[in-house]
Every structure is written in C-alpha cells, then in structure tokens.
Amino acid sequence: MEHQIIKGFLLGTMIFFSACYYDNEATLYPPTECISTNMSYQNDILPIISNNCYVCHSAVSNTGNVTLEGYSELIKYVDSGQLMGAINRDPGFSPMPQDAPKLNDCNIEKIESWIAAGALNN
C-alpha cells in the first residue's frame, strides 16, 4: 500500500517535471515576449512575408501585379509606404493579407522595427 503511494507520487512528480520541460518558451511567456530589436531581413522579415504573402505575391503568383519575393522587390513597397499602409490597414491602402486577419502585433512590430533601422538587406 505504502509502495503504491510512493510510486504514484514519484510518477506524478516525473510527469509534472517533464511537462514543464517540454513546455516551450512561447507557451510559458505568451504575448508579452516580442523580440523586435536587431531585425534581420533574412531571419526575421522574410519568413513573415513568405508565410503570409507569397501565396499571392511570390514572383510567380504576382497577384495584382505585386511581387514581394526577394529583397529588391520588397524594398520598393517599403519605400513607397505601401507595405506598412497595407499591413496596418491604413485608409487609402488595400488591407493585407487580403481576406485574412491582420498580421499579429508582434510581426507588425518586427517589420516596423526593421524599417525604422533602415530596412537593410541583412
């Protein structure tokens, strides 16, 4: 009987700690953690654009005659103000991504921070 209880306790402890171990940072520290400093085009911005926009704006899809694939294409829309206008859904711009929810705050913050730092091809 006593053994059963100790076994149960040990098992419970193991499950408890392994659950903690496998929880990743994102679930432990939900929305407060948005790292948006020192943004890199390659590592931070490109994944956001390719995941959310390439379905319509890759070089091949080119929807609305807008290609955002590659730095040299994307930078045109950065410089014209259309990228942030569309993403922030400012008046006078087409809201993007089209027919989908607005990008989350952290992704918008990352893009803004990258642009504020000069929108480098880094």
Note the residues at the interface with ligand HEC (CB under 6 A): 52-53, 55-57, 63-64, 66, 68, 77, 82-83, 86-87, 93-94, 96-100, 103
**Number of neighbouring beta carbons within 10 Å of residue 52:** 19
CB closer to ligand HEC, 77 vs 114: 77
Nearest approach, Cβ of residue 17 and ligand HEC (Å): 40
Q: Which among 38, 76, 81 has a CA at the least distance from the CA of 57?
A: 76
Q: Do the beta carbons of residue 71 and residue 41 sit within 8 Å?
A: yes
Closest-approach residue to ligand HEC (CB): 64
- Packed helices 105-116 and 46-57: angle between N→C axes, nearest 10 degrees: 110
Q: Is 14 helix (H, G, I), strand (E, B) or coil?
A: helix
Nearest approach, Cβ of residue 27 and ligand HEC (Å): 25
CB closer to ligand HEC, 15 vs 100: 100
CB closer to ligand HEC, 25 vs 99: 99
